[in-house]
Amino acid sequence: MKKLINRQPGRVATWALGLLPFALLLVVYLLASDARLEANPNDKLLPAFSAMGDAIQRMAFEPSKRSGEYLLWADTLASLTRLAIGVGISALMGLVFGIVTGTLPYARAGLSPLITGLSLVPPMAILPILFILFGLGELAKVMLIIIGITPFLIRDLQQRAREIPAEQVIKMQTLGANTWQIILRLVWPQIMPRLISAVRLSLGSAWLFLIAAEAIAATEGLGYRIFLVRRYLSMDVILPYVLWITLLAFAIDFLLARYSRWRYPWFHGSH
Amino acid sequence: MAIIEMNNLWKEYGDQVVLERLNAEVREGEFVTLVGASGCGKTTFLKMLLGTESPSRGKLLLDGAPIPDQPDETRGIVFQRYSVLPHLSALENVMLADELHRHKLIGRAFGGKRKALKDAAMAMLESVGLTQAAGKFPHELSGGMQQRLAIAQALMKRPRILLLDEPFGALDPGIRRDMHHLVLDLWRQQGLTIFMVTHDLAEGFYLGTRLWVFDKTRLDPQAPGAYGARITYDLPVGDCDKGTLTAIQEQADATARTMA
């Protein structure tokens, strides 16, 4: 008999074991929901799947009685736009400052202490400042994402740029490259797949900041909606929304991973 | 005229002396092999030639002028590892030198200009036997192919001096022999001046024209760093016999044991 530590599940067993917790969770929810609804048919805490189906139908496929919009899609579009702008600007700043501070010792000496200091400020603590400075419009929400994840991106990419083997930087110089060419032909292309990894890591925080900002001040958006319907204990809306947000987060992560593998085969081949 | 000249050259880090009182001249077209125990300053010397380390005392001259204190296109280099750029295909690695030279601002060639550079690069790849691998990334190549690619990439710049830092250290013995032939052929064809650091004393004995042995003539077992290494043998290759080889090997081993 092999020791437990040396035993590997097969393909089918791996899938089955992976799905089992999900199935168990589902069963537990169904049982608990049934029990509560039996005791009180108006219970809102653990709605039946049929109630959630009705909510999805109402939010996604019927125009809102007040605005005529399809709320789920309007909310999704609003949230994804903010997320894309925030993460996009952060990625661009991370790329530029990461490369500059990672490559040029003078830039590192001048900027690194500031970036380290900024990265230690809890972003949520300056949310009031953002609302005061930028008003309650789109800018404040996007700024929260930017302030939340840019210092991490810069510091991570600075580190990745410094990890490029010195041999390659020397090699570029012996091939006649100047500093600009070294950045353009060596550092930048090698940092790009690492930027994608760093963005994937920071997306969790980006969602957190987005939903927090939307919860406090917004008129549409996924975070706004779940905090709005919280007042009516509408778990039938909140639960599908949370699932939908999770699904979006997963899809974005998956697409980024796929893109990186397709676009930068050399990066994934050697790791 | 000497291409490389050393006058009373020293290299120290604080109170650790790595190299002391080096005096030698190397003429254009020589192939110098550097051997010696680990920690005897072979690689430090190569780094001074490369420009990433500078002399502490004395002079190191290239064509009669102090050697530039940063790497540039006069001196090509092949390291044991990380010599080629992993994000470029073999062909792009070899094209790089010309692209950087012709297109200062973007460092890339397009269209018809690219075609011309490509032809030159393909000819170079053919001379190192890598025509089939032109489109592959370095991680798809074997260790020996990567080193051939690194040599091809360095030679595209037509450097005056080619520095090889244990370039075949990680290769299988059979592949290593092939690489010796390749390097000797290219050296003869292109009239290069080569400095090669190697761990393998036998390699130094038949490759090239001149053998330098780096060793510490004075060695304090209590303070291995108190005295630096010197060039203890400066032999024309071909003139040395088996006895010399054994003697050098024994001395290098003794130094290595004391320092370990």
pLDDT tens sequence across B51-92: 999 999 899 999 989 999 999 999 999 998 888 999 999 999
Low-confidence residues of chain B, pLDDT below 70? 238-243, 260
CATH 3.40.50.300 domain position(s) in chain B: 2-74+160-259
Q: In angstroms, what is the C-alpha Rg of chain A?
A: 24
Whether residue A177 lies within 8 A of chain B, CB to CB, comes out as yes
CB-nearest to B50 from A170, A186, A266 is A170
Are B89 and B41 in contact by the 8 Å Cβ rule? The answer is no
Length in residues, chain B: 260
Pairing outcome for strands B16-27 and B2-13: antiparallel
Size of interface A-B (CB pairs under 8 A): 81
Q: Report chain A (271 residues): mean pLDDT per 10 consecutive residues.
A: 92 96 95 93 89 91 86 94 96 97 96 93 89 86 93 95 95 94 96 97 95 89 92 91 96 97 89 49
Q: What confidence score (pLDDT) does residue A163 get?
A: 95
Contacts of B97 in chain A (CB under 8 A): 175-176
Q: Which CATH superfamily is domain A61-269 in?
A: MetI-like (1.10.3720.10)
Please answer yes or no on whether B157 and A189 come within 8 Å at the CB atom.
no
> What's the order of all strands across the beta sheet hosting B230-236?
B75-78, B161-165, B193-197, B31-36, B210-215, B230-236
The two structure tokens encoding residue A64: 């809102």
Q: What confidence score (pLDDT) does residue A258 get?
A: 96
Residue ranges of domains in chain A: 10-44, 61-269
What backbone torsions phi and psi does residue A101 show, to the nearest 5 degrees? -75, -30
Whether residue A41 lies within 8 A of chain B, CB to CB, comes out as no
Architecture of domain B2-74+160-259: 3-Layer(aba) Sandwich (3.40)
B104-134 core/surface letters (b: 16 or more CB in 10 A; e: else): eeebbbeeeebeebbeebbebbebbebeebb
Contacts of A181 in chain B (CB under 8 A): 100, 104, 107
The two structure tokens encoding residue A7: 């035993």
Shortest Cα–Cα distance, B244 to chain A (Å)? 35
Identify which of A182, A160, A265 has the alpha carbon closest to the alpha carbon of residue B139: A265
Q: How far apart are CA A237 and CA A230, in angstroms?
A: 9
Beta-carbon neighbour count of residue B205 at 10 Å? Answer: 20
Q: Is B10 helix (H, G, I), strand (E, B) or coil?
A: strand
**Structure confidence by residue, pLDDT tens digits, B125-144:** 998 889 999 999 999 999 88
Shortest Cα–Cα distance, B216 to chain A (Å)? 28
